[in-house]
Structure 1
Amino acid sequence: MSKTIFEKIIAREIPGDFLYEDDLCACFRDINPGAPVHLLLVPKRLIPRIAEAQDGDQELLGHLLLTARRVALEQGLGETGFRLVINNGSDGGETVPHLHIHILGGRELDWPPG
């Protein structure tokens, strides 16, 4: 099985503009931003999508959410707000089969998003 683009970025096989990294995840800028701040928070362990997460993934999933909050605050989004997005499947907008959280902010975001 070939690596996802996110696995290649995490392995430094493809360049990425990293803002955060620990043993469980990495956060880097989206190369096609949909907002002034558009970051991707990706677990290092491959979970193809949130629908395929298992009960044993709860610690990692909690870590991802708390890390997303931390990174958003470090980027100055705490006062005006930010959005966290997880796409699942083609109808949900998923384009890379590797679970990731979009961290979006820096402008007013419309609702509904689709």
Structure 2
Amino acid sequence: MSAYDPDNIFGKVLRGEIPAHKVFEDDTVFAMMDIFPQSKGHLLVIPKAPSRNLLDADPATLSEAMPYVQRLARAVQKALRPDGIRVVQFNEAPAGQSVFHLHFHIIPVYEGVPIGRHGEGRADDGELAEEARAIAAAL
């Protein structure tokens, strides 16, 4: 496993170098809409502590992040009313990780609507902004 690279795209988002459709931010996590969503309302929860993924993360980072994942999943449920929610986390490229900064996917699942492929199909910025506002309001 390679070392953490602070110049990854999420590191740049956290430093404000790249814009994002922010849903929530505090000293611990940053939550934003996935611009390549697998379904409507696909959200990313990014711990601010630097780590490549679950395998090298400090256990304290993991224990601090999970209540946020739960809180944000509940906000997605309240705002968008999906039939279910997937929480996914990838570790290293062969497992599907494409950005090497620890993050959790909250993926709403809608009955009868297939989930898209990971990392494909750029979403409309207007729709992402609307979803971000709805989820933030549900917090």
> What TM-score, normalized to structure 1?
0.83
- Counterpart of 1:97, as a letter, is F
> Where does residue 76 of structure 1 map in the other structure?
77
> Alignment identity in percent?
31
What are the equivalent positions in structure 2 for 1:74-113 lying under 5 Å apart?
74-76=75-77, 80-108=83-111
Distance apart, 1:81 and its partner CA: 2.3
> Where does residue 53 of structure 2 map in the other structure?
49
1:8 corresponds to 2:12: yes
- Is the helix fraction higher in 1 or 2? 2
**Counterpart-to-counterpart distance in 1, 2:32 and 2:82:** 21
- Unaligned 5+ residue runs, structure 2? 119-139
> What TM-score, normalized to structure 2?
0.69
1:66 corresponds to 2:70: no
Could you list the per-position Cα deviations for residues 73-99 of structure 1 after superposition, in whole angstroms to 9, with x for gaps in the alignment? Answer: 112257732111110111110111111
Stretches of 4+ aligned residues off by more than 6 angstroms:
none
Contact 2:41 2:107 in 1 (8 A): yes
- Unaligned 5+ residue runs, structure 1? none
Q: Aligned residues, how many?
A: 110
Distance apart, 1:105 and its partner CA: 0.3
Contact 1:37 1:106 in 2 (8 A): no
